[in-house]
């Protein structure tokens, strides 16, 4: 039985795989651009036109980048028997929503989604072991 735990945020997804008494890790980088749109620029002339920041352009770009990031994660875990999702922000929630909308077979394998803060890799592995009740001797 292949059990996979994933800790994810918008920058990266760290995964630990437990299968047939063996443990392995994987990492998926998001390659997302982190936009910091500046406010509109003021014209040099008094009462002149202002540049408008198009938030919708940034949000649309982020949505497409997030979808590609989730697709990479799906490819890494598509043969899992059980999944556990963890993360500090909304990334794990959006990933679970993506699974329900576009990958229903994989969505049924999600056993838990829990909000967690940043942690070391060893802390994350211990948390996944505890959830799946995997022997510490691995």
Per-residue pLDDT reduced to its tens digit, 62-86: 889 999 999 999 999 999 999 999 9
Q: CA 41, CA 16: separation in Å to the nearest integer?
A: 47
Count the domains in the chain: 1
24: DSSP letter: E
Give residue 124's domain range: 2-35+54-132
pLDDT at 18 over 70: yes
In a domain, 86, yes or no: yes
Q: Is pLDDT above 90 for 127? A: yes
| CATH code assigned at 86 | 3.30.420.60
pLDDT on residue 86: 95
Whether residue 82 lies inside any domain: the answer is: yes
Measured at the alpha carbon of residue 32, what is the angle toward residues 109 and 60, in degrees to the nearest 5? 90
40 domain-assigned: no
In a domain, 45, yes or no: no
Mean pLDDT along residues 39-52: 61
96-125 average pLDDT score: 92
Query: Is residue 119 domain-resident?
Result: yes
Instruction: Say if residue 37's pLDDT is above 70.
Output: no
Containing 31, the helix (H) or strand (E) segment is none
**Residue 25 · residue 17 · CB < 8 Å:** yes
């Amino acid at each position: 039985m292949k059990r996979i735990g994933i800790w994810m945020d918008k920058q990266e997804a760290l995964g630990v795989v437990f299968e047939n008494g063996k443990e392995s890790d994987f990492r998926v980088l998001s390659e997302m651009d982190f936009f910091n749109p500046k406010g509109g620029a003021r014209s040099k002339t008094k009462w002149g036109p202002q540049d408008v920041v198009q938030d919708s352009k940034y949000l649309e770009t982020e949505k497409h980048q997030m979808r590609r990031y989730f697709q990479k994660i799906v490819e890494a875990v598509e043969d899992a028997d059980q999944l556990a999702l963890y993360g500090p922000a909304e990334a794990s929630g959006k990933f679970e929503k993506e699974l329900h909308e576009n990958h229903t077979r994989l969505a049924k394998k999600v056993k838990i989604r829990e909000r967690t803060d940043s942690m070391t890799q060893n802390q994350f592995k211990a948390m996944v072991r505890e959830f799946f009740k995997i022997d510490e001797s691995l």
